[in-house]
Amino acid sequence: MKIEEAYSTDYNDVVDAEKAYDLFWSGEIRDKRNFECPDQNCDARITCANLDKARDKMKNILHFKSYGVHSSECNVVSDKSKVNRPQDDADPSVPRNSYVDSETDVLLLRRLKQHSSIVSTHSGISVVDPKDIKKKMKQSYFMLRNSKRDPEYSTIKPLVSKFEDYLLEGTLSTHHIKISDYKVSYKDMFVEVNGQEFNALSEYPRIYYGEATIIKARNNDYRIRFIDQINHEGKCFNPEVYVHESVLNKHYMRRYWKNLLNEILSLKGRARFFVYCKPNFNENTKNNITTTYLNFRINSLDYLEFRHLL
Ligand SMILES: [Zn+2]
């Protein structure tokens, strides 16, 4: 049976699958099996399928799957799926009880501190004893289930996944992303590099995307060079993301990123890259020759994502 959200026993809150993915790769969720039903009267075991797989290695989408038997008092699943009843994967009678709002996603520009140390829940209930956190968070889930709250993410990965879904559904204009209290539609947030006019770009950071290739730079730095171009005053520029070794080394997914960049480099391959940034021009003078670069600058790999190795 598919479930939209689950209670993470590592993170001590109800999360959707994309949030769980973000938390697993940042080390806060330790196992794909460490979830249970979000209902306060039910502790049915839940697994997040594909949580431990890199995006390009997933054969199926990221989703929660309930293996345990739900309590007869459980309000998350329909009566049909409760105790002693066979469970059906695609049961349309299972209500989509959505605690986490699917209309607006929040991109946090700074990672939250360890969640389990938070002593105040979203409903304002104060929790002092960690043993009470589960009970209180589930109560809060129950209370807020109809009022909904916006899902919060620390990386652009979940946003890219949702963008691809909304693009297929044709609903980019009706879904939004909130950054520092400023709300922008998915349609306006995602900008394909190809054929853009520099002067027409937003003055705020956006998620730029397009096909790119990798070039080894000095030391252990990498350049992600877009194949597509942006026009500026009659000239065409291939934007580049310069990934400093220091930016790579401070990220929790450094091994994953190094392997990925090296793989694309050795295959002389391409991938579709996404980068949340504000483009800017840089000049470099060498032997009296000045070269102008169009850069997508990032200070964390949280703002970089790739899909579809080509
Ligand atoms: Zn349940």
Q: Where are the domains of the chain?
A: 2-154, 158-308
Output the CA 18–ligand 1 centroid distance in Å.
Answer: 20
- The pLDDT, as a whole number, for residue 257 is 87
Residue that the structure tokens 């009678």 belong to: 93
Angle at which helix 157-169 crosses helix 17-25, to 10 degrees, equals 150
Output the CA 138–ligand 1 centroid distance in Å.
Answer: 11
- The pLDDT, as a whole number, for residue 112 is 58
Output the CA 147–ligand 1 centroid distance in Å.
Answer: 20
Output the CA 37–ligand 1 centroid distance in Å.
Answer: 5
Output the CA 94–ligand 1 centroid distance in Å.
Answer: 12
Span 158-308: which CATH code?
2.40.50
Output the CA 120–ligand 1 centroid distance in Å.
Answer: 24
Output the CA 140–ligand 1 centroid distance in Å.
Answer: 15
Output the CA 25–ligand 1 centroid distance in Å.
Answer: 26
pLDDT in tens, the chain (310 residues): 668 889 999 988 888 898 899 889 888 899 999 999 988 888 899 999 999 998 777 888 899 998 888 998 888 876 544 444 334 343 433 334 444 555 788 888 876 555 544 444 444 445 456 557 788 888 877 776 666 677 888 889 889 989 998 999 999 999 999 998 899 999 999 999 998 999 999 999 999 999 999 999 988 899 999 999 999 999 999 999 999 999 999 987 788 889 889 988 998 888 999 999 999 998 888 899 988 889 999 999 999 998 876 6
Would you mind telling me the total number of residues written for the chain in this entry?
310
- The pLDDT, as a whole number, for residue 113 is 55
Output the CA 45–ligand 1 centroid distance in Å.
Answer: 9
Token output for 219: 């030391």
Count Cα atoms within 13 angstroms, Cβ side, for 295: 14
Output the CA 38–ligand 1 centroid distance in Å.
Answer: 7
Output the CA 43–ligand 1 centroid distance in Å.
Answer: 6
β-bridge pairing 104-107 and 176-179 = parallel
Output the CA 112–ligand 1 centroid distance in Å.
Answer: 28
- The pLDDT, as a whole number, for residue 78 is 64
Output the CA 238–ligand 1 centroid distance in Å.
Answer: 51
- The pLDDT, as a whole number, for residue 117 is 44
